[in-house]
């Protein structure tokens, strides 16, 4: 389906509109998705007014617009499936203001996550919920996909640090959701509705984020356990005991083996828990209380380091995403993703994943933000073997369904995109999804923004006849 | 405007429907509002299915339904203005489950806030964001009005502790928003849209809330300052320095005078800051760091107490709402409310309020959750003197407008209701309010739920012709 995009000439400079083959191709995928279509044009707005102009004109003409930034999402969130316009926001990449007296920063959506802490750090501040991928993802993408990170266990998720958003709706109207007050009960909370809406309800063009003071004390730790069940029980115990951990990450024995191979670490291939602690006072007591809880699970090894040394302890965890890909040249990870469950279900769902790996004779590395009940997992398959792929996909789906069955979510921090559309109703129920659809139709009646995402494939609501809306 | 409510007979037992004069009258006001109308009937559903039945039947017939619980809100949020049905949810008052291993509790909307901590406390847990009014307000009301409290400065607001909501929409459909995972990016965040929607989008019939472990150490403090500017500067400094306070409340000198008179305390009538600290370790260091920051503002007195004694230190603050009402039998507080501003604007807005009090020759006590930039204020006026009332209202409005002008919010924690409808557009802008209206129309196309609230008075969207929706 090709759309006429010549109208863009009237709204942007020539160099802000690209239709070259390589650019179109590069906007047809993200890091986890190959099933998109190429857009008919890629536009590079430099300011809010241009975003609004393009959206208004596209809505009038029934041309889909799919927001795009770093393209590092996993679920196909910014990938067009009907062509149209890919709206690349990476030129809106300015830090507009830092207000240290209010612990706030104003950013455009194309700012890379990793640019924020250097700017905030000049004032002794930082943005705590940034994901581990902050150096390859934009703040706009994090907001669109409701991202979180290793420090979410202590500080909350990205959404918790968003105070105010400027958003352009499909019809080109510009709204402001939220306020610069840290607490408000004024009108509907549209702000948190736009967070995680994956560019289907509006395009974020400015965000005011809250910042925090850097902790005076930090420690890092690595704990090895003799069994997965001891490791997951230790994590659950730490969370249930309320020990103030800033990070608590699980790595299963298989992931540890992959990590040792990749990072050149010579640790035993055992389940590991990586820890970080932040405090202004009394960090030794916090560490001691964590250790006391962990000791009940007979760790093989408990290593601790201060701020200067802790990066070394963490190397295996830090490299893990690369280690999984590099482990076996003949077996590549299937679509990676995450689920999140209540903490009491954390051990069981990882055991279930391992058991499925055994049943299907596939390697299934599991790791994640354990304190939040988050598991990242995949299956390694031979990409030339349809049977392996099929088994891997079945395994993948079974774990998502299990997460839903135990009260968790199909996607903790990567959104629904294309990859998890089939689970939306399973998780939320038909009537809840109908309410989501009603909200979509209310804010984007022409179906212009990022059609085909989030909702189950084939829903005809996705593109209403644009004639109706002229 | 009287509505026919005889159809309720088919959906509820006789004793669940009341039309007696005193009951109708008691559902026509809240603690801050006298301008409502009596409902035509009050219904007392006991379960979700009954809520759904009544809503579906009322929507079909074009009869408004206004949810009601404790009736202790301040802005008229649960007060009908067109008659119809008042849906009293106080019979849905059960704690359904406590899951200590997941740090979660499931409650019905009519559970009083003060019932939660005793149930959670059996497991060493508590619900940190409860407002000071927890013993006179329901959890449903807190969710509907996006409540917060004294401990929000450390722990966040009620919304931050809501994981999952069961909600009945106007057409009687029952949806589930959120999940029991602490982190999700699955579909639109309807959960936080319902929080703070004041019963205009749906009726919450069940909530799953997160709980926290009780802190092992607590301290309470009271600090007296020689001037308001030193007191507010000290508060801002504490927040900007990231000192880990669990509560930090400001009381201005006038409020202190009222408090001394009411509580029988013999403190100087000086601006005061009330403090509380929670920690598992190192609380003495936390207190010391707070004291060091405060000392830069030359406090007249810094008193500290451990958990057993700190209630005494806090008595004046605890009694303050009553003290303001009791101060002068001839002058009653005008409509009380709050605004919230960025912390750098906290001192200036309180100075502005005091200056307006001088200009208008009215007593204007100010106090609030200072760490959040929150000010509760009112003007004492002779209720028989129209000129005083007019001056008081002008002053009240000027402070709301100033909060908006400096990037804050017209209402930090009591919602818009009837009382602050006129500020909605001033705060959010016409196009943002239009987006809110679109959401309202999408989820409640018949305009059944709590018509007349939040949006500016006189908007004809509020009650569409019910014929359209049959």
* Shared-domain flag, residues A189 and A102: yes
Last residue of a domain, one of A88, A107, A124: A88
State the average pLDDT for chain B.
95
Q: Do B342 and A157 touch (CB under 8 A)?
A: no
A residues 270-309 closer than 8 Å to B (CB): 279-282, 285-286, 289
Residue A212: closest C-alpha in chain B: B242
Q: What are the pLDDT digits (tens) for A245-259?
A: 999 999 999 999 999
CA distance A261 to chain B (A): 31
pLDDT at A465: 40
Q: Residue A14 and residue A11: Cα distance in Å, rounded?
A: 9
Backbone torsions φ then ψ of B274, nearest 5 degrees: -100, 135
Number of domains in chain B: 4
CA distance B148 to chain A (A): 8
* Shared-domain flag, residues B315 and B333: no
Q: What are the pLDDT digits (tens) for A283-300?
A: 999 999 999 999 999 999
Averaged pLDDT for residues B365-388: 97
Q: What are the pLDDT digits (tens) for B124-147?
A: 999 999 999 999 999 999 999 999
Averaged pLDDT for residues B44-57: 98
* Shared-domain flag, residues A189 and A225: no
Residue B1's pLDDT band (cuts 50, 70, 90) = low
Q: For residues A327 and A333, is the Cβ–Cβ distance under 8 A?
A: no
Last residue of a domain, one of B326, B359, B376: B326
Is residue A466 in some structural domain? no
Is residue B442 in some structural domain? no
pLDDT at B379: 97
Q: Which of A202, A315, A333, A310 is nearest to A267 (CA)?
A: A315
Q: Residue B49 and residue B11: Cα distance in Å, rounded?
A: 10
Residue B459's pLDDT band (cuts 50, 70, 90) = low
Q: Do A435 and B173 touch (CB under 8 A)?
A: yes
Specify the DSSP element, H or E, that contains B460: none
Is residue B241 in some structural domain? yes
pLDDT at A467: 41
Contacts 24+ apart (CB under 8 A), B314-319: B314/B220, B314/B222, B314/B274, B314/B276, B315/B263, B315/B265, B316/B251, B316/B256, B316/B259, B316/B260, B316/B263, B316/B265, B316/B267, B316/B272, B317/B249, B317/B251, B317/B259, B317/B272, B317/B274, B317/B367, B318/B132, B319/B259, B319/B262, B319/B263
pLDDT at B35: 82
Averaged pLDDT for residues B180-188: 98
Q: For residues A439 and A377, is the Cβ–Cβ distance under 8 A?
A: no
Averaged pLDDT for residues A297-319: 95
- Residue B216 contacts A, CB cutoff 8 Å: no
Q: DSSP of B184-222, one letter per residue?
A: --SS--HHHHHTTSTTSS-EEEEEEEE-EEPPSEEEEEE
Q: Residue B165 and residue A428: Cα distance in Å, rounded?
A: 11
State the average pLDDT for chain A.
95
* Shared-domain flag, residues B209 and B220: no
Is residue A374 in some structural domain? no
Averaged pLDDT for residues A123-129: 98
Q: Which domain holds residue A244?
A: 215-318
- State the CATH number of the domain containing residue B406: 3.30.70.2740
Q: What are the pLDDT digits (tens) for A345-404?
A: 999 999 999 999 999 999 999 999 999 999 999 999 999 999 999 999 999 999 999 999
pLDDT at B468: 39
pLDDT at B33: 86
Q: Do A286 and B281 touch (CB under 8 A)?
A: yes
Averaged pLDDT for residues A162-185: 98
Is residue B10 in some structural domain? yes
> Which among A102, A369, A412 has the least Cβ separation from residue B342?
A102
Q: What are the pLDDT digits (tens) for A422-470?
A: 999 999 999 999 999 999 999 999 999 999 999 997 654 444 343 433 2
* Shared-domain flag, residues B354 and B283: no
* Shared-domain flag, residues A102 and A200: yes
In this model, does residue A65 exceed pLDDT 50? yes
Three-class secondary structure of residue B39 per DSSP: coil
Is residue B231 in some structural domain? yes
* Shared-domain flag, residues A302 and A219: yes
Q: What are the pLDDT digits (tens) for A210-251?
A: 999 999 999 999 999 999 999 999 999 999 999 999 999 999
Residue B34's pLDDT band (cuts 50, 70, 90) = confident
* Shared-domain flag, residues A44 and A125: no
- State the CATH number of the domain containing residue B73: 3.30.43.10
| pTM for the model | 0.96
How close are the terminal C-alpha atoms of chain A, in Å?
21
Is residue B470 in some structural domain? no
pLDDT at A335: 86
Q: For residues B184 and A340, is the Cβ–Cβ distance under 8 A?
A: yes
Is residue A260 in some structural domain? yes
In this model, does residue B458 exceed pLDDT 90? no
- Kindly give the residue spans of alpha helices, DSSP state H, lying in A264-328: 283-295, 310-313, 315-318, 320-326
pLDDT at B466: 35
């Amino acid at each position: 389906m090709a759309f006429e995009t010549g109208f863009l000439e009237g709204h942007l400079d020539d160099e802000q509109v690209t239709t070259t083959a390589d650019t179109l191709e590069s906007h047809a995928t993200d890091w986890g998705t190959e099933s998109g279509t190429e857009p008919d044009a890629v536009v590079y707005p430099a300011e809010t007014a241009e975003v609004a102009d393009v959206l208004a004109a596209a809505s009038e003409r029934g041309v889909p617009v799919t927001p795009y930034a770093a393209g590092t999402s996993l679920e196909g969130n910014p990938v067009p499936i009907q062509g149209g316009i890919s709206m690349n926001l990476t030129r809106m990449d300015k830090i507009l203001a830092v207000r240290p007296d209010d612990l706030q920063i104003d950013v455009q959506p194309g700012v890379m996550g990793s640019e924020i802490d250097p700017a905030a750090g000049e004032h002794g501040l930082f943005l705590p919920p940034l994901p581990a991928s902050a150096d390859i993802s934009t703040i706009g993408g994090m907001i669109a996909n409701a991202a979180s990170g290793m420090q979410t266990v202590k500080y909350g998720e990205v959404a918790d640090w968003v105070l105010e958003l400027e958003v352009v709706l499909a019809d080109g109207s510009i709204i402001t959701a939220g306020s610069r007050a840290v607490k408000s009960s004024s009108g509907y909370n549209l702000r948190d509705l736009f967070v995680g809406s994956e560019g289907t309800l509006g395009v974020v063009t400015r965000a005011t984020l809250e910042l925090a003071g850097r902790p005076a004390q930090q420690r890092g730790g690595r704990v090895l356990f003799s069994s997965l069940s001891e490791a997951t029980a230790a994590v659950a115990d730490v969370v249930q005991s309320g020990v103030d951990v800033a990070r608590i990450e699980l790595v299963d024995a298989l992931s540890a083996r992959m990590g040792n191979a990749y990072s050149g670490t010579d640790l035993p291939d055992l389940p590991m828990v990586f820890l970080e602690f932040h405090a202004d006072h009394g960090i030794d007591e916090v560490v001691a209380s964590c250790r006391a809880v962990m000791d009940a699970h007979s760790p093989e090894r408990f290593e601790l380091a201060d701020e200067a040394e802790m990066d070394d302890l963490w190397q295996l965890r830090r490299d893990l995403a690369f280690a999984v890909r590099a482990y076996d040249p003949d077996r590549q990870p299937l679509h990676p993703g995450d689920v999140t469950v209540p903490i009491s279900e954390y051990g069981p769902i990882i055991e279930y994943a391992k058991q499925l790996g055994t049943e299907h004779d596939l390697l299934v590395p599991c790791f994640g933000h354990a304190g939040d009940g988050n598991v990242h997992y995949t299956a390694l398959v031979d990409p030339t073997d349809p049977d392996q792929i099929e088994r891997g996909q079945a395994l993948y789906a079974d774990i998502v369904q299990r997460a839903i069955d135990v009260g968790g979510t199909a996607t903790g921090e990567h959104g629904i995109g294309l990859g998890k559309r089939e689970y939306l109703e399973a998780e939320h129920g038909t009537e809840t999804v109908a309410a989501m659809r009603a909200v979509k139709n209310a804010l984007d009646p022409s179906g212009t923004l990022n059609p085909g995402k989030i909702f189950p494939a084939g829903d005809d609501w996705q593109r209403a006849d644009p004639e109706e809306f002229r």
